[in-house]
Amino acid sequence: MAAPEGTTIVLKGGRVVDADGERTADVVIADGLVVGVGPDLSGERTLDAAGCIVAPGLVDLHSHLRQPGQEEAETIETGARAAALGGYTCILAMPNTIPAVDHAGIVREVLELGRAAPCDVLTAGAITVGRAGEQLAPLGEMAALGVRFFTDDGAGVADARLMRRAMEYAGGLHHAGRGVVLAQHCEDPVLASGGHMHEGEWSSKLGIPGQPAEAEELMVMRDLALARLTGTRVHFQHLSTAGSVAMVAAAKDAGLPVTCEVTTHHFTLTHASCTGYDPVFKVNPPLRTDADVVAVRQALANGSIDCIATDHAPHTQEAKEAAFDAAPPGMLGLETALALTLTELDLPVAEALALLSWRPAEVLGVEASHGGPIVPGRAANLTVVDLEERWIVDPSALASRSRNTPYAGRELAGRVRHTVLHGEPVVIDREAQR
Amino acid sequence: MAHQHLLSVSDLAVEDLEQLLRLTDAFAEVSRRQIPKVPALRGKNVVWLFYEDSTRTRLSFEQAAKRLSADTMTFSVSSSSVKKGESLRDTVLTIEAMGVDGIVVRHGSAGVPWQVARWLGDRVSVVNAGDGWHEHPTQALLDCYTIRDRCGTVAGLRIGIVGDVKHSRVARSDVLAFTALGAEVTLIAPPTLLPSNIEGWPVRVSHDLDAVLPDLDVVYLLRMQRERMTEHLIPSLREYTARYGLTERRVDAMRDDAIVMHPGPMNRGVEISAEVADLPRSVIIDQVRNGVAVRMAVLYLLLGSGVDRVLGTAPLDADALLTAPEPVVEGAVG
């Protein structure tokens, strides 16, 4: 339940971790804002945070919420609940719904459905009409509603001239004083055509048609060239190969206005997972080689990756009970991303949180209300995480409407205990409150 | 050998392969009888779950099952609930509920027999009758049997597999079986028709048939499909035939005792010339004949109640095993 106006809540006994550093402090919240940070504070309600860290809420740049069109797999409500349980206070819905989010009407619908959700839900808009890659979508009317991120995710924009024009046109769009970002799912559709997993030793052995790493890298290369040509900001989604990561890092060093994300599955799983032909391991971009996983981890450690995204992609059980090459690509991520990052990456906690919270908040342009330092006057979008708690991923216990996690049975360390959204505890002691 | 399913050649130890070949000898003998039928699988029910058109493999399995007195049912995709949108898993569980002992699966997608086996657990035996580009284990077994029958052994032979290895489930299973039995395998194809990453495969690779042909004991030709041209894998069938087709001229370069194999169906005039297909050194019809006996051996080992008698390391007295019950004429048993 929403706290009545004026009620103060204290997060008691935790260690505050944000972009400014770490300190042991209680955090007092009232009217949606942080109102006090310091030792021995009190409030009318107390949420125990002893032994936990108190951090800015996480921000996901890549969630498929499936609404409208595929509500049997996920809805905005269930996806947002999964997000809240995973520590997120803000998620960006991808526009590959049915119909696609490619004009103002659908933007309004998604934002409206998101208003009651236990997590702030923003939506990306499609770059092209129907994500068909043929005609520029009305980016301006969507930007006027606050859409800052545009992508045809699920597919890349294959036509180089169209992508160039989209970038030039987007350079002239602003909302509330900020420019927009074009984001790309990099995949050359002809070179990748018919490929259902990474082309390599395993695809050769398993007889599953593969798609080469170069299908991703060619589009990364092209869009870096177009970013140079147009000067428009580009965000590279779910980079998965050593080559992609290296190219984007080099482009940043050269001063190009680019950012990028990687997913948790691309630093925790490899194409060897496909040996049992379980479509739960089918995802796009596909799971890659050990060397790619090592490269992604190194890039996360040396700061050349801006953020970790989930690419949360729910699919119904029946959709995933098809043959490997007939099943849709995608896996769940919102409820496991934080724990996987904490468990699998050897990063200081603050660095892990930077990748999951304040850096994606900056890329998305929501740093005023999400991911910012925990100081009086800031929006109270917070998550409380018990770093020590070990838990085993149980697909049937997930809040998502779907069950397609590739981590069933895996033991992880670190679990969200509470999540606070605009001052309201939406998760208390691991239980969603709405 | 205590296998629940036959999914991949790689699941078979060398001893398993050899045992299957010995058992095939016994069933080949049954096939030569006046009444080529034994009651070994009487009361067992086998269903053909064929999601892909296949006349030869299905008829071969059907013949094998009938000679073992098993009951068979056919699940036909074209007239089934699959067309109404039923999931693969629901189809499999529906069939199981009717009471079957074995499911023989052919599917255009790699891995489907593994999924079927996972859903059925140990309740039903699953035989892979070909999955996508991946495997076709009974074909590999009949190929090994045919080679052993004609050449005496598989060990030490030099076997060339020629053609579209990339898309071939036959090639993947044959490579596993031939090398397990000690043959030296060379894949002969243009680079576009080889799998992308075969480092680590126990094979040699050549792009030049004429260079290796004189050394081969077995020339195994794969079917060349017309649609490979539209995928830019070869310029034309004419050029393929010129470089990789087994023509009469090329046969002259072969060793006198070398044999020619093909999994069928052949494209006469493309990968094999019409005249070569009919030479005495061509064992293609033997392969088909042996396929029935091999599949009898497989079905018997997976489903037979007398399986315990062929387990273990004791020499196999297959004849005693099979002749114990008198052959019966279908319908004669009450």
d(CA A103, CA A135): 13
Task: Say yes or no: A410 and A261 in one domain.
Answer: no
Q: Is A325's CB within 8 Å of B131's CB?
A: no
Examine the fold and report which residue of A336, A364, A392 is the final residue of a domain before the chain moves on.
Answer: A364
Statement to judge: residues A176 and A195 lie in one domain: yes
CA distance linking residue A170 with residue A127, whole number of Å: 10
Tell me if A318 and B131 make a contact (CB, 8 A cut-off).
no
d(CA A404, CA A387): 25
pTM of the model: 0.93
Nearest to A424 by CA among A371, A378, A380, A376: A380
CATH number at residue A192: 3.20.20.140
**Listed range (A400-409, B6-15, B295-304, B314-323) with the worst mean pLDDT:** B314-323
pLDDT of amino acid B126 = 97
Q: Tell me whether residues A208 and B132 touch, CB distance under 8 A.
A: yes
- Which residue from A minimizes the CA distance to B8? A206
Question: What's the whole-number mean pLDDT along residues A246-266?
Answer: 97
Point out the domain boundary residue: A315, A337, A364: A364
The answer for A 296-325 residues in CB contact with B (under 8 A) is 318, 321-325
Question: What average pLDDT is seen over chain B?
Answer: 89
Q: Does B87 touch chain A (CB under 8 A)?
A: yes
Tell whether A185 and A221 lie within a shared domain.
Answer: yes
A169 and A187, same domain (yes or no)? yes
Catalytic residue among A60, A223, A311, A386: A311
Q: What is the CATH number of the domain that holds A427?
A: 2.30.40.10
Q: Which is more confident, A277 or B325?
A: A277
| Separation CA A424–CA B118 (nearest Å) | 45
Q: Residue range A279-293: average pLDDT?
A: 98
The answer on A279 and A419 residing in a single domain is no
The verdict on residue A24 lying in a domain is: yes
Contact predicate B140/B161, CB 8 Å: no
A35 and A175 together in one domain: no
Q: Pairing mode, if any, of strands B71-76 and B45-50?
A: parallel
Is A418 in the same domain as A276?
no
Question: What is the structure's pLDDT at A363?
Answer: 97
The B residues from 151 to 180 touching A (CB cutoff 8 Å) are 169, 172
Q: Are residues A194 and A86 in the same domain?
A: yes
User: Does any domain span residue A1?
Assistant: no
Do A203 and B197 count as a contact with CB atoms less than 8 A apart?
yes
Residue B151 clears pLDDT 90, i.e. is over it? yes
User: How far apart are alpha carbons B87 and A50 in whole angstroms?
Assistant: 49
B230 touches chain A (CB under 8 A): no
pLDDT of residue B81: 62
- The mean per-residue pLDDT over the stretch B251-280 comes to 96
Residues of B in contact with A200 (CB under 8 A): 196-197
CB neighbours of residue A236 within 10 Å: 27
Q: How large is the average pLDDT for residues A394-420?
A: 98
| A200 inside domain | yes
CA distance A299 to chain B (A): 26
Confidence (pLDDT) at A96? 98
Q: Judging by DSSP bridges, how do beta strands A197-198 and A210-211 pair with one another? A: parallel
Measured CA to CA, the distance from residue A282 to residue B223 in angstroms comes to: 30
pLDDT of residue B264: 92
Q: Measure the CA–CA gap between B241 and B243, rounded to whole angstroms.
A: 5
Domain boundary among A364, A398, A414: A364
Segment 180-209 of chain B within 8 Å of chain A by CB: 195-200
Distance between CA atoms of residues A89 and A180, nearest Å: 21
Interface test with B, best of A206, A273, A318 (most B CBs within 10 A): A206
- Could you tell me if A391 and A416 are in contact, meaning their C-beta atoms sit under 8 angstroms apart? no
pLDDT tens for A68-121 read 999 999 999 999 999 999 999 999 999 999 999 999 999 999 999 999 999 999
What is the widest separation between alpha-carbon atoms in chain A? Answer: 64
- State residue B332's pLDDT score: 38
| B77 CB within 8 Å of a chain A CB | no
Q: Is the pLDDT of residue B292 over 70?
A: yes
Please indicate whether, in this complex, the C-beta atoms of B110 and A322 are within 8 angstroms of each other. no
Asked whether the CA dihedral A405, A408, A413, A415 is positive or negative, the reply is positive
DSSP at A2: P
Asked if residue A29 lies in contact with residue A43, where contact means CB atoms within 8 angstroms, the answer is: yes
Count of domains observed in chain A: 2
Q: What is the mean pLDDT of residues B139-152?
A: 97
Q: Is the pLDDT of residue B323 over 90?
A: no
Percent over 70 (pLDDT), chain A? 99
Q: Is residue A202 part of a domain?
A: yes
List chain B residues with CB under 8 Å of A277: 110-112, 114-115
Best interface-test mutation with A: which of B197, B199, B201 has the largest number of A CBs within 10 A?
A: B197
Query: How many degrees, rounded to 5, is the angle at CA A284 between CA A281 and CA A289?
Result: 65
For helices A213-230 and A160-170, what crossing angle results, to 10°? 40
Judge whether A369 lies within some domain.
no
Residues 38-67 of B with CB under 8 A from A: none
A278 and B115 within 8 Å at the Cβ level: the answer is yes
Kindly tell me if the per-residue pLDDT of A153 is higher than 70: yes
Please check the confidence at residue A177 and state whether its pLDDT lies above 90. no
User: Is residue A134 located within the same domain as residue A44?
Assistant: no
Q: Does A371 map to a domain?
A: no
**Which of A198, A199, A204, A275 would you mutate first to test chain B, the one with the most B CBs within 10 A?**
A204
Please tell me the predicted confidence (pLDDT) of residue B83: 63
Establish whether A311 is a catalytic residue: yes
Q: Looking at the structure, do residues A283 and A355 belong to the same domain, yes or no?
A: yes
At residue A414, what are phi and psi to the nearest 5 degrees? 105, 120
**Span A237-251, average pLDDT:** 98
> Are A406 and A331 a contacting pair, CB within 8 Å?
yes
- Search chain B and give the residue with CA nearest A325: B109
pLDDT at B305: 64
What range does the domain containing A412 cover?
Answer: 9-53+377-432
Q: Give per-residue burial for B210-234: e unless 16+ CB within 10 Å, then b.
A: eebbeebbbbbbbbbbeebeeeebb
Residue A222 inside a domain? The answer is yes
The reply to whether A19 and A37 lie within a common domain is yes
Question: Residue A207 and residue B200: Cβ atoms within 8 Å?
Answer: no
Is the pLDDT score of A137 beyond 80? yes
Query: Does pLDDT of A1 surpass 60?
Result: no
Task: Return the axis-axis angle of helices B88-97 and B112-120, rounded to nearest 10°.
Answer: 50
Strand ranges, E, within B200-333: 203-206, 218-221, 259-261
Name every residue whose Cβ is closer than 8 Å to that of residue A177 and which is 6 or more positions away in sequence.
none
Mean pLDDT along residues B10-31: 94
ipTM field: 0.89
Give, to the nearest 10 degrees, the angle between helix B169-180 and helix B14-31. 110
> Can you tell me the mean pLDDT for A222-245?
97
Tell me the pLDDT of chain A averaged across its residues: 97
Name the residue facing A324 among B111, B197, B198 (closest C-beta).
B111
- B132 close to A (CB below 8 A): yes
Which band of pLDDT confidence, cut at 50, 70 and 90, is reported for residue A5?
A: low
- CB contact under 8 Å between A201 and B200, yes or no, is yes
Do residues A332 and A230 share a domain? yes
Q: Is the pLDDT of residue B311 over 70?
A: no
Predicted confidence band of residue B80 (pLDDT cuts 50, 70, 90): low
Does some domain include residue A183?
A: yes
